[in-house]
Chains A and B, each alone.
Chain A
Amino acid sequence: GAGVSQSPRYKVAKRGQDVALRCDPISGHVSLFWYQQALGQGPEFLTYFQNEAQLDKSGLPSDRFFAERPEGSVSTLKIQRTQQEDSAVYLCASSLLGLGVDYEQYFGPGTRLTVT
């Protein structure tokens, strides 16, 4: 079946521009995560949705970052007034809800954001 998809795959923004990054999770996956991966680093958690509810946004670095999942499926990560330190790969992951041994997060290909 189809995996997690993200668009666009690459985005170049001028400093100060707003950007919107889209994530289509695996159909039926209740949980959706956004991670930020800076060059040479591991992914860092940004925010988590369970269906349409944003249950954890503790990783969002500033109030310029905003995420939504209005219908519990597709999610959008919006960054306002982009700055150079926002340059990174933004990863989306989805999973079934649960604490059992079948728990796994499935990752999308990421959106590489470059702010010039």
Chain B
Amino acid sequence: AQSVSQHNHHVILSEAASLELGCNYSYGGTVNLFWYVQYPGQHLQLLLKYFSGDPLVKGIKGFEAEFIKSKFSFNLRKPSVQWSDTAEYFCAVRTGGGNKLTFGTGTQLKVEL
């Protein structure tokens, strides 16, 4: 069965620092990849997604992610974080044309002023 690993469980950054959150998945076939964000008190929202084509995907609020097939990775990046980026971030994968999403355990990001 497929699985998703997020290596950083808690990350604390100062405003304007650069962010990279790791995500690795285990599945050898076709994948669709997603990053979801959950701001405090809010529901899960889609940040960005990869289906095919350019492996560098840009999402909302200045986030981007790069799909590296050889490394089974889909890391999330942002050049300069803001206090409002404080949230929990989840990587998810959809495999083999199926419908369900398999999520990682999440990374709690805290941005300090």
B100 with A41: CB separation less than 8 A:
no
CB contacts (< 8 Å) of A4 on chain B: these are 43
Interchain CB contact under 8 A, B99 and A42: no
- Bound CA span A63–B4, Å: 27
Determine the main DSSP class of A at the interface with B.
Answer: loop
Bound state CA distance, A56 and B105, in angstroms? 22
Contact present for B52 and A42 (CB under 8 Å): no
Contacts A48-B99, A104-B49 known; A42 to B106 CB distance under 8 Å? yes
Given A41-B106, A56-B99, is A108 in contact with B90 using a C-beta cutoff of 8 Å? no
Please name the residue on chain A nearest to B105 by beta carbon.
A42
Cβ-neighbour of A104 out of B6, B46, B104 (below 8 A) = B46
A-B contact count (CB 8 A): 60
Contact of A109 among B43, B99, B101, B104 (CB under 8 A): B43
Using A99-B97, A101-B51, A103-B32 as known contacts, say yes or no to A43 and B46 having CB atoms under 8 A apart: no
B49 proximity list for chain A (CB < 8 A): 101, 103-104
Q: Which residue of A lies closest to B32 (CB)?
A: A103
List chain A residues, Cβ under 8 A from B45.
Answer: 107
> In the complex, which residue of chain B has the Cβ closest to the Cβ of A47?
B100
Q: Report how far A91 CA is from B44 CA in the complex, Å.
A: 9
